[in-house]
Amino acid sequence: MGCPDWPKCFGQWVPPTSIDQLPTDYKESYADYRAKKNQKFARYLNTMGMEETASQILNDPAVQTETDFNAVKTWIEYINRVIGMVIGLFIIALFLRSIKFRKSYPVLFWVSGATLLAVIVQGWFGSIVVSTNLTTWTISVHMFVALLIVALLVFVFTYTQRLQGSARTGVDRKVMMVMLTSMLVLLIQVFLGTQVREAIDQVASKGVLRNDWISSIWTDFVIHRSFSWVVLLIHASLVIFLLKTSFSRTLIQALIVLLLCNVISGVVMAYGAVPAFIQPVHLLVATLTFGLQVHLFLRLNTKVVPVLGN
């Protein structure tokens, strides 16, 4: 909530650095701004039959509470938006570049178009995350849309590699099944992680001290921690299978390193009272792992990403 409006920040393209640059009634004005946006979003939810969710957004006092100005948080959020804009411009360029291939390689054109559409949806939903004052479920949806964009971009990357004559790895059905299983369990683990984060958000909003967060959400934490063993075992099996093939040793090593980083960052969070700087690291490593998994899957399956001329 460093920037209570969207896409501008406190009504400016370059955000303020001091509260003195804001009007005295900035909380009230931006609370009204967000309330109007939430009413519009609630109408969308009602149309989709999500009346209870719409009612919670409109009636939850926490949604209407305006956050105090914090220059550090404002600029973190602003930098996040600038990076998002740069990504969006690159994806627009990607789509424009793909137009000339719409007949020769229609998959490339349509996936690039889907990526652009996903980015537009992500930008719009980012404004909903802001207007609903970081409602927990909206943050999770925002993250999974980001993972979808990662998967689509990796598909385009791997497809173009295939068209250039590289990334032509093929393996047997057993390895493919283990690969798919590893992707599924990682997504489940990410979902369980969102449940932990949502639970932490709730206890933190009630004033629970950071050292007591884990004990306050023990059940969600234990489920997430226990399932990590499933993730590790499945991925260990995948690595063993891949090492028996001619698959790129560099990619296999990268997968191992990312898995170890996931484990280490998770342990630090669990036994270090959830340090603030480790949370984004943990999420970043999980995202990189997912992106690499998608690339591995596409390289392993020539039916999904056909060889040039097929």
Q: Are both 163 and 246 inside the same structural domain?
A: no
**Range of weakest confidence among 20-24, 116-120, 151-155, 277-281:** 20-24
Count of the separate structural domains present in the chain = 2
Name 187's Cβ contacts closer than 8 Å, sequence gap at least 6.
Answer: 147, 290
In this prediction, residue 273 has a pLDDT band, given cuts at 50, 70 and 90, of confident
Q: pLDDT tens for residues 87-124?
A: 999 999 999 999 999 898 899 999 999 999 999 999 88
Averaged pLDDT for residues 263-279: 87
Angle between helices 71-98 and 106-131 (to 10 degrees): 160
pLDDT at position 65 over 50? yes
Residue 172: per-residue pLDDT? 66
Residue 71: burial class (beta carbons within 10 Å; 0-12, 13-18, 19+): middle
Mean pLDDT of the chain: 85
Q: Are both 212 and 256 inside the same structural domain?
A: yes
Residue 170: per-residue pLDDT? 58
Alpha carbons 101 and 107: distance in angstroms, whole number: 9
pTM (2 decimals)?
A: 0.81
Averaged pLDDT for residues 226-254: 89
Domain span holding position 196 = 168-310
In this prediction, residue 310 has a pLDDT band, given cuts at 50, 70 and 90, of very low
151, 167, 183: which is the final residue of a domain? 167
Q: Are both 75 and 219 inside the same structural domain?
A: no
In this prediction, residue 234 has a pLDDT band, given cuts at 50, 70 and 90, of very high
Residue 182: per-residue pLDDT? 92
Higher pLDDT, 99 or 42: 99
Name 192's Cβ contacts closer than 8 Å, sequence gap at least 6.
Answer: 220, 223, 224, 227
Averaged pLDDT for residues 120-145: 84
Alpha carbons 159 and 301: distance in angstroms, whole number: 11
Q: Are both 180 and 159 inside the same structural domain?
A: no
Residue 277: per-residue pLDDT? 86
Residue 10: per-residue pLDDT? 83
118, 140, 167: which is the final residue of a domain? 167
Could you tell me the two tokens for 218? 């023990």
Q: Are both 158 and 176 inside the same structural domain?
A: no
Q: Are both 270 and 225 inside the same structural domain?
A: yes
In this prediction, residue 127 has a pLDDT band, given cuts at 50, 70 and 90, of confident
Q: Are both 180 and 294 inside the same structural domain?
A: yes
Q: Are both 281 and 195 inside the same structural domain?
A: yes
Q: Are both 227 and 287 inside the same structural domain?
A: yes
Alpha carbons 121 and 127: distance in angstroms, whole number: 10
pLDDT at position 190 over 60? yes
Q: Are both 158 and 172 inside the same structural domain?
A: no
Q: Are both 67 and 162 inside the same structural domain?
A: yes
Q: Are both 144 and 3 inside the same structural domain?
A: yes
In this prediction, residue 302 has a pLDDT band, given cuts at 50, 70 and 90, of low
121, 143, 167: which is the final residue of a domain? 167
What is each CA distance from 82 to 15, 44, 86, 93, 204, in whole angstroms? 12, 28, 6, 17, 28
